[in-house]
Amino acid sequence: MKPASFDYVRPTRKAEVLELLSEYGQDARIIAGGQSLMAVLNMRMTQPKLLIDINRVEELHFIEERKNCLAVGAGVPQVELLSWPRISETVPLLALAMPWIGHFQTRNRGTVCGSVAHADPSAELPLCLKTLGGEVVLESRSGSRTVTAEAFFQGILTTDRRPDELLTEVRFPLCKPGTEYRFNEVAMRHGDFAIVSLAAVIGAGTIRLGIGGVADRPVTRDFEPGQDLSAALNETAWSLDAQDDVQATAAYRRQLVRDLGRRLIEEGH
Amino acid sequence: METIAKQGARVQLQLNGRVREGFAEPRTQLCDFLRHELGATGVHVGCEHGVCGACTVQVDGKSVRSCLMLAVQAQDSRVDTVESLAEGELMSDLQLAFRRNHALQCGFCTAGILMSCAEFLGREPDPTESQVRDMLSGHLCRCTGYTGIVRAVLEVANERKSKNGEK
Ligand SMILES: Cc1cc2nc3c(=O)[nH]c(=O)nc-3n(C[C@@H](O)[C@H](O)[C@H](O)COP(=O)(O)OP(=O)(O)OC[C@H]3O[C@@H](n4cnc5c(N)ncnc54)[C@H](O)[C@@H]3O)c2cc1C
Ligand code: FES
Ligand code: FES
Domains of chain B plus CATH, in order, are: 10-84 (3.10.20.30), 93-163 (1.10.150.120)
Return the pLDDT at B166: 60
pLDDT per position as a tens digit, A72-81:
999 999 999 9
Residues of B with Cβ-Cβ distance to A12 under 8 angstroms:
1
pLDDT per position as a tens digit, A57-107:
999 999 999 999 999 999 999 999 999 999 999 999 999 999 999 999 999
Q: In angstroms, rounded to a whole number, what is the distance separating the alpha carbons of residues A90 and A96?
A: 12
pLDDT per position as a tens digit, B9-55:
999 999 999 999 999 999 999 999 999 999 999 999 999 999 999 99
Residue A236 lies in a domain: yes
Residue A1 lies in a domain: no
pLDDT per position as a tens digit, A182-229:
999 999 888 889 999 999 999 989 999 999 999 999 999 999 988 999
ipTM: 0.95
Q: Using an 8 Å Cβ cutoff, are B50 and A106 in contact?
A: yes
Residues of B with Cβ-Cβ distance to A191 under 8 angstroms:
134, 137-138
Residue A2 lies in a domain: no
- What CATH number corresponds to the domain at position A42? 3.30.43.10
Residues of B with Cβ-Cβ distance to A7 under 8 angstroms:
3-6, 26
Task: Check whether residue A14 and residue A42 sit in a common domain.
Answer: yes
Residue A226 lies in a domain: yes
Task: Check whether residue A88 and residue A127 sit in a common domain.
Answer: yes
CB < 8 Å from B in window 104-123 of A: 104-106, 108-109
- What CATH number corresponds to the domain at position A115? 3.30.465.10
What's the number of domains chain A is made of? 3
Taking the CA of residue A148 and the nearest CA in chain B, the distance in Å comes to 30
Task: Check whether residue A110 and residue A157 sit in a common domain.
Answer: yes
pTM over 0.80, yes/no: yes
Task: Check whether residue A49 and residue A133 sit in a common domain.
Answer: no
Task: Check whether residue A44 and residue A70 sit in a common domain.
Answer: no
- What CATH number corresponds to the domain at position A230? 3.30.390.50
Q: In angstroms, rounded to a whole number, what is the distance separating the alpha carbons of residues A52 and A76?
A: 16
Q: Which domain holds residue A192?
A: 180-267
Which ligand places an atom closest to the C-alpha of B107?
A: 3
Residue A161 lies in a domain: yes
- What residue's CA is closest to ligand 1, atom 28? A34
**CA triple B49-B55-B58, angle to 5 deg:** 120
Q: Using an 8 Å Cβ cutoff, are A90 and A68 in contact?
A: no
pLDDT bracket for residue A139 (50, 70, 90): very high
Q: DSSP 3-state assignment of A167?
A: strand
Q: Using an 8 Å Cβ cutoff, are A105 and A140 in contact?
A: no
* Mean of per-residue pLDDT scores for chain B: 96
Residue A108 lies in a domain: yes
Task: Check whether residue A152 and residue A235 sit in a common domain.
Answer: no
Task: Check whether residue A62 and residue A25 sit in a common domain.
Answer: no
Q: In angstroms, rounded to a whole number, what is the distance separating the alpha carbons of residues A163 and A149?
A: 18
Q: What are phi and psi of A142, to 5 degrees?
A: -90, 5
Closest alpha carbon to A235 in A206, A261, A216:
A261
CA of A40 to the centre of ligand 1 (A): 11
